[in-house]
Amino acid sequence: MYGGQYYLSGKPLAILVPANPLAYPSGSDESDRANVDEHKKHADIYGAVYWNVQAIGRSHPWINDVKTMYFVQPREKSPYNCDEVTHKGETLWIKHFETKGDMRAEFPVEEVKYLYGTRKKVWELENNNGYNWNRWSGAGKWGFIFFKIKKLRPLKQRRRIRDFKRVLGMSHKPVERCRNYVIVFDGFFE
């Protein structure tokens, strides 16, 4: 049902990703990974920025159809209560890397400048202060999906995740939670 059919039928796809600073310990260097505003500043300077999420499984037939990324942030002080969509960006490139070795072999060195803050540690070698992917059980098993984004911007009117409909799994049902990522029909919200 996907891998081109939705987009070609006039229903482009988007991805909802959490940008939740509460997921990181207070004062952690890694909290920059959830800072959409700092990623936007980086994109404004360099023309684009990367965001990555842990892959769910090895098959991602939707990758070529996702044209927009929406960022979900918490409304309450709870790590899993992410229900307000605050920003969006246009995806230029999406790639799944199962291992850090795959990424190091296939990720162009000239693209490293688009990695913001500690996201760069996902690419760097462990002996150069880089992250060991096995520290995250999901990434150790399935790797990461990287999204190169341009035109990252705040929405003029924030949306709730329930404004989006799922494409996979419980197809066409409103989104209730966004813990890792959710593939949705693009609402073209600005």
DSSP states of 139-152 as a string?
HHHH-EEEEEEEEE
Range of the domain at 33: 5-185
Alpha helix positions (H), the chain: 5-8, 36-46, 100-106, 120-123, 137-142
pLDDT band at residue 88 under the 50/70/90 scheme: very high
In-domain check, residue 13: yes
Q: Chain-centre distance of CA 81, in angstroms? A: 17
Domain assignment present for residue 151? The answer is: yes
Helix (H/G/I), strand (E/B), else coil: 64: helix
Give per-residue pLDDT as tens, 151-165. Answer: 999 999 989 899 999
**Longest Cα pair distance anywhere in the chain, in angstroms?**
48
With CA atoms as reference, report the closest residue to 82 among 90, 70, 74.
74
pLDDT tens-place string over residues 96-148:
999 999 999 999 999 999 999 989 999 999 998 898 888 877 777 899 999 99
Does residue 78 sit within a domain? yes
| Torsion sign (Cα): 133, 134, 136, 138 | positive
- Asked, for residue 190, whether it belongs to a domain, the answer is no
Under DSSP, the state recorded for 22 is G
pLDDT tens-digit map of 72-85: 987 665 555 558 89
C-alpha span between 51 and 160 (Å, rounded): 21
Give the count of domains, the chain: 1
Query: Which pLDDT does position 139 carry in this prediction?
Result: 78
Among candidate residues 98, 67, 97, 91, the one with its CA nearest the CA of residue 167 = 67
> At residue 4, what are phi and psi to the nearest 5 degrees?
130, -35
Q: Is residue 136 part of a domain?
A: yes
Q: Give 6 or 129, the one with higher predicted confidence.
A: 129
What distance in Å separates the CA atoms of residue 27 and residue 13, rounded to the nearest whole number? 35
> Per the domain annotation, does 89 fall within a domain?
yes
